Amino acid sequence: MTELSERAIILEHALENENNLKMTLDIGNAYQELRRRIIVAFLEKLQHFVRQQLNESQWNLNPELLSNPFKKYAGFFVAKKAWAERYSVGFQADQSDARYLIVGVAKQAESLPSIEGLKQTLDSQIRQGKPSAQWDWYHELKHPYFNWDNKEALIKLYDGSAVTDLGTYLLRIVTLAAPVIDRHVSKMPAYPPNPD
């Protein structure tokens, strides 16, 4: 059954009588809160999954999406403590309402230099990415994870398959990027710079 025919059945059912209409309207009004709960529960599971894989004494986790999953530019990032809050690996929503999700290696300040060899490493080992002022390498997440407002994405976020899909992918990027970032950061002056 296609989504269009499913929607026609729902609409027909909703318009059969007043009770069906009230229930359908209540469900429609609850949709945004339902999405929020599914996304937050997913992010909590993802946070647990990532923590199990990384040595917490060396890594920081910043799951900003947990506190406000519909905020523009909210993200889910991991960074080595040794990187001194300069670079991180993660994903973020580039539009509000958990839409246009991208994944990659972010710079905490546009003034930070690009990491030599990082883009080439990730392009060859992961896939072709793009650089920007805020990202040394990134790409859009593939369907269904590009926007977290479609039925397929929400079901995968709910049933746990997104934890495995996105968690494993994020950790693969971390594994490949970390040695390159480590080398780059080891050559940089202390951060933040000491005021004289």
Q: Which residues, 6 or more positions from 1, have their beta carbon under 8 angstroms from its beta carbon?
A: none
- What whole-number distance in Å separates Cα of residue 72 and Cα of residue 75? 9
Give the per-residue pLDDT at 61. Answer: 92
The phi and psi torsions of 130 (rounded to 5 degrees) equal -125, 150
Q: Are 64 and 45 spatial neighbours (Cβ–Cβ below 8 Å)?
A: no
Residue located via tokens 């072709």: 128
Whether residue 115 is contained in a domain is answered as: yes
Residue located via tokens 């080398």: 183
Give the per-residue pLDDT at 191. Answer: 63
How many structural domains comprise the chain? 1
Whether residue 88 is contained in a domain is answered as: yes
Look up the domain containing 179 and give its range.
31-186
Whether residue 4 is contained in a domain is answered as: no
Whether residue 10 is contained in a domain is answered as: no
Three-state secondary structure call for residue 143: coil
Nearest to 98 by CA among 131, 159, 147, 55: 147
Whether residue 3 is contained in a domain is answered as: no
Give the per-residue pLDDT at 194. Answer: 52
Give the per-residue pLDDT at 192. Answer: 60
Give the per-residue pLDDT at 190. Answer: 76
- What whole-number distance in Å separates Cα of residue 178 and Cα of residue 184? 10
The pLDDT tens digits for 13-55 are 889 999 998 998 988 899 999 999 999 999 999 999 999 999 8
Whether residue 18 is contained in a domain is answered as: no
Low pLDDT (below 70) residues in the chain: 1, 4, 191-196
Whether residue 122 is contained in a domain is answered as: yes
Whether residue 136 is contained in a domain is answered as: yes
The phi and psi torsions of 110 (rounded to 5 degrees) equal -60, -25
What is each CA distance from 116 to 39, 43, 188, 190, in whole angstroms?
35, 31, 12, 18
Both tokens assigned to 108? 């905490």
